[in-house]
Structure 1
Amino acid sequence: MSTKPPTSLTERRKAATQLEIAHAAAELFATQGPHGTTAEEIARDAGVALRTFYRYFRSKQDAVSPLLADGADRWRALLDAAEPGTDLARALEAAVRQSLAAPDGEAAQALLRTRGLLRAAADDPALRAVWYRVNQESEERLVPVVARLADGRLGVLQVRLVAAAATDAIRIALETWADTEAAVTGEGSPAELAIDCLRQLVGGMSLLAPDDGEQG
């Protein structure tokens, strides 16, 4: 399991402020849409000055990026907790299922907030761009995690394919779920859809015994 250096108090406070702004933006976008929301309103609801808002974010749409990235960071950390050489397919499924589970009200609310954002993004190209950017960044950060867990069993190309497939499985599942009225748990839930997507996307890859010629 990899370790990260502890963050400073200043960095933690900065991250907390950014997340508070992200929550305020998400609530406003879900209720009145991005077009009907101003940066001033987001700053006011977050309890910060407008100059503080623009210190952290370039636009009102960009303000939700910490919230979207938080979910990606959580599932990547779950995967990173597995030991090198573990069954990669099972580790991926376990991390995806656990990260998208809704064991309590807070987790359920987080998923519903994401649904609201994705629905709002349907009519806002800038908000969609933030969503795609967060997913791209998540995929890039996942590559070294997959490589460490594969422990030499996968070539460079396969590692990147697995990282891309796993990221897209969650993205497609959440986007599909957002277009429905399915609950946060059970049939049609994000976790169930993501596992289905993951199995279809990764199922055709040889995760455990790549040919020697595929090694990077």
Structure 2
Amino acid sequence: MNRPLSLTERRKAATQLDIARAAVELFTEKGPDATTAEEIAARAGVALRTFYRYFRNKQDAVGPLLASGGDRWRELLAEAGPGTDLPAALEAAAVTTLTPADDAAEEGLRQTRQLLRAAQDDAALRAVWYRVNQESEEKLAPLVAQLAGPDADPLESRLLAAAATDAIRIALEVWATTDAPTSGPGSPVELALRCLRSFRSSPSGGASRR
């Protein structure tokens, strides 16, 4: 299990998230090209040097917001015990993570859609999205191996982590190309479940236990 964050780490994470939200707001209002790092820092209420302490460029600033869903997904999955039915646990965690529980969560999904649409024409923003997913997969892999138990096939555990991460990524990317709602048919959770279930019955769809 991960150790609790210190007060300093929590403050740092909160500042990063404030900057990320400011970046998303400005990207949505003006587009990435018309937005500057100075404007993002001003919207977030921090000095420009603070912005560059945490982020290399303006596109990089949205990383914490894009990563928040994956963080929540892994937190929920970690609550499952060793030897759990991993595909089922992954599905359950995805449903909770991608189903907006309130207006703020629904707005967060809409902002993600705007960012993914903008990323189609912004290579730097697209690189941030792929990096976030790669990091999420790397964090998920040892958790999957731990939950699968000591007798699980390491290759299958790693493959399951990669496939599950890509399932969520692809679901969000496809949803972003549509005007489907945040819940119901065509929503992120509906698409994610379709993706996750497409490999559940395959030979590598779960970490085997010998």
TM-score (norm 1): 0.93
- More deviation, 153-162/60-69: 153-162
Query: Structure 1 pair 69/209, CA: closer, same or farther in 2 (3 Å)?
Result: closer
**Letter in structure 2 aligned against 1:163:** A
Residue 38 in structure 1 maps to residue 36 in structure 2: yes
Query: Structure 1 pair 48/183, CA: closer, same or farther in 2 (3 Å)?
Result: same
Please report the RMSD computed on the Cα atoms of aligned residues, expressed in angstroms. 1.3
Which residue number corresponds to residue 156 of structure 1? 154
Unaligned runs of 5+ in 2: none
The Cα offsets for residues 70-97 of structure 1, whole Å up to 9 and x where unpaired, read as 1110001111110111111111110111
Question: Number of residues paired by the alignment?
Answer: 209
Which residue number corresponds to residue 51 of structure 1? 49
Which residue number corresponds to residue 188 of structure 1? 186
CA distance in 1, matches of 2:124, 2:83: 40
The Cα offsets for residues 37-93 of structure 1, whole Å up to 9 and x where unpaired, read as 100110010011111100110000000111111111000111111011111111111
Which residue number corresponds to residue 80 of structure 2? 82
Which 4+ runs in 1 deviate beyond 3 A? none
Query: Structure 1 pair 206/167, CA: closer, same or farther in 2 (3 Å)?
Result: closer
TM-score (norm 2): 0.96
Which residue number corresponds to residue 15 of structure 1? 13
Which residue number corresponds to residue 199 of structure 1? 197
2:118 paired residue among 117, 120, 131: 120
SS in 2 for 1:85: coil
- More deviation, 131-140/86-95: 86-95
Instruction: Determine what percentage of the aligned residue pairs are the same residue.
Output: 64
Unaligned runs of 5+ in 1: none
CA distance in 2, matches of 1:153, 1:192: 32
